[in-house]
Each structure stands twice: as structure tokens, then as C-alpha cells.
Amino acid sequence: MTLLTDEERLLRESVRAFLDRKVAPLVAEHERARTFPWDILPALHDYGYVRGLVAPEDGGEGIGYTMLAILMEEAGRCWGSLRTTMNILTIVPYLISAVGTQEQKDRFLPGLLSGERRGWFAMTESDAGSDAAALRTIARRDGDDYILSGRKLYITNASHADMGIVMATVDPEAGAKGVTAFLLDGRESPYEVHEIPHMPVRGTSSCEMVFDDVRVPAANVLGEVGRGLATAMRAINVGRLNMAMGAVGLSQAALEESVAFAKAREQFGRQLGGFQLVQEMVVEIATLTQTSRLLGMNAARTLDAGLPGRFECSMAKYYCGESANRAASLALQVHGGAGLMEESPVERIFRDAREATIPEGTSQIQILQMGRELLGVSALR
């Protein structure tokens, strides 16, 4: 554990106790069914999930990034799908509060903050993943509206939400300068959603979204026309912190499972934990967990200090994601055959950790963004 203030420590203890008591017992059943216990949401809001980053004058709590980091670590320790879902549900109202008009805030925030409505964030397309600025979803102006056409891929929980933020270009020739963020309300602007079966975070859905001449009021432009990538970057920076801390939670869970297993299981007439090679694996998991936590908390405290924190969030996302994969793999090894069985939490932790190096910028993209800052030359374009 890192040194925390009394307030931070209290938050960690109370949210961990709640998740252990109310959510952990539901995980195995929902993983198997690939479902999510949506009725737990209102209780989670009380801890700062979803409304935490929204300014108090917009109905949120304005809790700051360090508290958010603690919430995301605890969500990840409990269940990868919970962390992924809390990330997206936190980011959508945060963006509306940060860059939305008063009319947009009045329309969308009350429902999102009460849990009555849920949102998605759609940027990725089949030919625009790491290269997000290459997106092809187009928004053509038509009087007081825009007409959206295109497809989005791998959009988290789009099948469990009825509104969201979609990135489209108002001018394909303008490249990054044409990209614009739109608030899309499925009740007034219907679109298609198809779920794509996927390996990790099975309590979430990964969706293809189809926008076939969907009419959206021009009043739904979020932020400025042509500044969509800047708006998205605000979300992605926070998303990187959230993913990094969720990965710390997965590593922490891998550690706790490994310690318990190594103490309980016996081979060659003694407990596994007494073998030096097993101790080495457990200590490596512990070291990866703690170094990851320190980097993640450093990124959070950098944001809380009012600094941009791009470099710190990239480093945390890169290191914590890669470390969670290593920690989960080691935990599986400590468990032997039992770790590969679906009844073992380590099997799920291993799958969920695999997500941590891909969304919100792959590990390679984090490296190239940090490399650009360190060396002053971009390897991307």
C-alpha cells in the first residue's frame, strides 16, 4: 500500500468492504452468464463512481483524481468488468460537465448521475484504431441538424446504454481538424448495435454500432466543431489513469489469490509457500503490484496538482497494464492446473489483465507518445 491521507484510506477501506460484501459474491455467476448486475449501480454512486469527476455545481462530487484512482483500483481488484463499466460510466458525465453547454448538462446529467441512464463513448472504427484521427464516420450539416453515417467498433456497453458520445468528421479532407464530438440520444436519434463476443471483461459488452443517416440536432455538438480530438483526449487521459489503476487492482487480486493458495496447498509434504521458487513468483507479483500502484498514484496526484499529466498517465497505463499481465501469468503459475480452471478467480484475472494493454491506447502507442515527449520527434507521423 502507498501512504494515503486519512480521507483516502477511509475511502479505500469503505469501498473495499462494500465491494467484498455486495459485489464479489455475484462475480462468478455474472461471468458465466456474461451479464452485469446493473441494480448495484445506485449504491456505487454513493462512493463517487460515475458522479465523482462531475463538478459539484453540475450535480457531481468533484472528488479529484487520487480518490478516483483509489475507486478504480478497488473496482479492478473486485472484478475487471466492474472497472471497465465504471470507467465508461464515469467518463461520459465528466466530459459533459467539462465541455458541455448548460442546455446539454440540463438534458443529460440528471439521468446519468442518478443511474437512470447510461452512456457509451464511440471513437474506434475498423480502419481507425490507434490512428483515431483516420476515422470515417461522417456528419453532414443539414439545416439545424447533422446527419451521421458510419460504423464504430468495440464500443463498451453500447448495448446496455441509450445515449453516448460519438466522434465523427464534419470534413474528411480536414483530417484531425474535422473531427467533432456529438452527443447522441438514442431516444431521438435511433442507431443499430450488435454485440461482438470477446475474451476479457465478460460482464461488459463490446459492440459494433451502425449509424445509417442518423439525424442529430446541431445543438448536440459537444465542445467545438473540429475540436473533437481535444475533447476525446480529456476522456482518454482520465481513461488511461482509470485503466492503469484497474490493472493495479487486478495485480493486487493476483497477489492475494497467490498468497492464499501458496499457504494452503501442500506438495512434497510441505506448503507451496515454503519453496524458494514459489516465493520468488509471489514476491515478483508483489513488487509489480506496488511499483504499478506508485506510478498510478503519481499520475493521479499530477492531475490533482492541475498539471496536464499526459506523460504520467501514459507511463502508468503502459507499465501497470504490462505488469498486470505478468502478475496474472505468475499467479496462474503459482496455482498450477487449478489456475486454468474457470472456477479459479485467477483464470478470470488472467483474461481481464489481457485487456489492460489495448484500449485507451495500446502499450506501443503509450511508448511512442512518451518517446515523442522525451526525444522531441514523433514516430507516429
Ligand X SMILES: Cc1cc2nc3c(=O)[nH]c(=O)nc-3n(C[C@H](O)[C@H](O)[C@H](O)COP(=O)(O)OP(=O)(O)OC[C@H]3O[C@@H](n4cnc5c(N)ncnc54)[C@H](O)[C@@H]3O)c2cc1C
Interface with ligand X (CB under 6 A) = 88, 121-124, 129-130, 154-156, 198, 201, 206, 355, 358-359, 362, 364-365, 368, 380
State the Rg of the chain over Cα. Answer: 21
Please state the length of the chain: 381
Q: SS3 string of 218-250?
A: HHHEECCCCCHHHHHHHHHHHHHHHHHHHHHHH
State the minimum distance, in angstroms, from the CB of residue 361 to ligand X: 6
C-alpha distances (whole Å) from 347 to each of 80, 155, 197, 341, 354 are 12, 24, 18, 6, 11
CA of residue 319 relative to chain centroid, distance: 15
Residue least distant from ligand X (Cβ): 129
Q: Which position has the grid cell 470477446?
A: 198
| Nearest distance in Å: CB 153, ligand X | 7
- Which whole-number Å values give the CA distances from 52 to 71, 92, 231, 347, in the listed order? 10, 12, 19, 31
User: CB 334 → ligand X: shortest distance, Å?
Assistant: 26
| Catalytic residue IDs | 360
| Burial bucket for residue 114 (CB in 10 Å: 0-12, 13-18, 19+) | middle
**DSSP per residue over 93-155, as a string?**
HHHHHHH--HHHHHHHHHHHHHTSS-EEEE--BTTBSSSGGG---EEEEETTEEEEEEEEEEE
CA distance readout (Å), 228 to 121, 158, 221, 294, 297: 12, 20, 9, 32, 28
| Nearest distance, CB of residue 64 and ligand X, angstroms | 24
125's grid cell: 472504427
**Nearer Cβ to ligand X, position 25 or 197?**
197
Residue with grid cell 467484498, as numbered in its chain: 20
| Minimum distance from residue 159 beta carbon to ligand X (Å) | 12
β-pairing, 138-142 vs 179-185, is: unpaired
Instruction: Identify residue 165 by its one-letter amino acid code.
Output: I
Residue with Cβ nearer ligand X (167 or 281): 167
CB of 166 to ligand X, least distance (A): 9
Q: Could you give phi then psi for residue 305, rounded to 5 degrees?
A: -80, 0
If one counts every other C-beta atom within 10 angstroms of the C-beta of residue 124, the result is: 17
